[in-house]
Amino acid sequence: MVSNRAPVELVRQHDGPRFVRTVGGLAGAMDDALRAHDGTWVAWVGSSVAGELRPERTGLAYPIHGVPLKEQEVRSYYNGLANQVLWPLCHTFPSRFRMERSWWPAYQRVNERFAATVAAIARPDDLVWIHDFHLCLVPGQLRAAKTRARLGVFWHVPFPPPSVFGILPWRADCLGGLLGADLVAFQTPDDARNFLDGVRQFLDLPVRNDPPRVCLPGRDVGVLSLPIGIDYAGFRRTAADPAVGARAARIRRALGADVVLLGVDRLDYTKGIVERLEGYERFLERHPEWRRRVTFIQITVPSRDRVPDYGQMKRAIDEQVGRISGRFTHEGPPPLLYRYTSLGREQLVAYYSAADVAVVTPLRDGMNLVAKEYVACRAAAANRDGVLVLSEFAGAAQELHEAIHVNPYDPESIRRGLEIAVTMSADERRRRLRLLDRRIASHDLDWWTRLFLEQLGATAAATAA
């Protein structure tokens, strides 16, 4: 497993440094996958961490090989090229694109260091599974080094159309790097098509569609759409834990609301938090009868605080929270509860279990696992009751048809979605949740991992033949 972020990070405390588990996102999902398979994780753990970290040091079930990065490299490669160039382009926010020429050489050097670490430990016929946009040069570098391993990539974020990806000055380098793999997989068919269109337009390479693949001299690169799942059984177990249920009940009692709405997001402009809160404000304006009956809990996880846009967005959210609370706080339940913090799994599941409605409205998202986690946890409750309001621009919307789909850019669409959610009959809530739950259960993280590995094995075998 190869990714920028590890499932643990080194934290220096008053009693000395120790490893702390990373919560959520890609690292959390991949930790669940790797625990079920024999393997090693290659990632950046901290500036001073290099070489192998054994499980007895980290508390994990597998070893980690740390890739050491200097502070300047982190600023240029991660905060710079990854988060101010690739991230906005992949999420179709070209207006947020920022570029400094020094970022690209740093990105190249860091990718080379990751590739060198993998090449040093990979054995013939090993599987190397590379994750996301931080490391798109690594497959090509490993192939150039004649690393004898099967190479697979999963691109977790959206892949933009050529008209947007083409803004990147190093578009050919990135596409060529990805094509060092045997298999490149994406969350949705749209993402896979955009990638193939980019290869066709910027590299002038032949592309075949049945099955999707890029034809290179001597080999083909398979292209697959495969939506990531969640650790369904694990979330169900946590939701069924009596201690978690008691915590959810305490949340409900403390709020005193008839209906609890929930949003959970990293701090990021792609998550649509500002637009979501504006939609909720319009709901309260339009429906005074709900003002003492409903509470919206917005949990925002700190993220990328060294990137200027994120500090500005936090201030905008803080101002919105203050305005809504000031306008609509009366006797009774608070209209809005805002928490800017990270949560462990048990805490998060307690909030899922306490919420009647999850409001998941990113402006653009590769998948969004919060939507799936909420469904799994609410379906484990005794009454199997809950409503999902979901952005039509989240990858999850292509699977979760029974959610209430809204346009996250339009606060009026969000307002209408909330109206439908809070007035839906109990029978309809349970019917929709049951169908969503079945689909998430059958396409869980184990299904996703197993299918990717099978497809990679088949692609590599076909290439060898």
pLDDT at 460: 61
Contact 456, 150 (CB under 8 A): yes
pLDDT at 195: 98
pLDDT at 118: 96
Sequence-ordered list of residues with C-beta below 8 angstroms from that of 52, at least 6 positions apart, any chain:
63, 64, 65, 66
Contact 19, 10 (CB under 8 A): yes
| Active-site option among 365, 405, 437, 444 | 365
Domains of the chain with bracketed CATH: 69-228+446-464 (3.40.50.2000), 232-442 (3.40.50.2000)
Q: Mean pLDDT for each 10-residue chunk of the chain (465 residues)?
A: 87 72 72 81 81 86 90 93 96 94 96 96 92 97 94 98 97 98 98 98 95 95 96 95 96 96 96 97 97 96 76 92 94 94 93 97 97 96 90 98 98 98 97 97 94 86 54
pLDDT at 21: 77
| Active-site option among 65, 134, 156, 443 | 156
pLDDT at 32: 73
Sequence-ordered list of residues with C-beta below 8 angstroms from that of 6, at least 6 positions apart, any chain:
22, 27, 41, 43, 44, 45, 64, 66
pLDDT at 305: 66
Task: Report the predicted TM-score, pTM, of the whole model to 2 decimal places.
Answer: 0.94
pLDDT at 462: 57
What CA–CA distance (Å, rounded) separates 75 from 276? 31
DSSP strand pairing (207-209 vs 259-266): unpaired
DSSP annotation of 85 reads: I
What CA–CA distance (Å, rounded) separates 251 from 245? 10
- Per DSSP, the residues of 247-260 read HHHHHHHHH--SEE
pLDDT at 461: 58
Of the candidates 114, 134, 145, the one whose C-alpha atom is nearest the C-alpha of residue 178 is: 134
Please work out, in degrees rounded to the nearest 5, the angle formed at the alpha carbon of residue 415 by the alpha carbons of 317 and 298.
35
- Per DSSP, the residues of 94-128 read GGG----TTHHHHHHHHHHHHHHHHHHH--TTEEE
pLDDT at 97: 94
Give the up-direction half-sphere exposure of residue 33: CA atoms within 13 A in the CB hemisphere.
25
What CA–CA distance (Å, rounded) separates 409 from 405? 12
Q: Is 365 labeled as catalytic in the residue annotation? A: yes
Count of residues for the chain?
Answer: 465
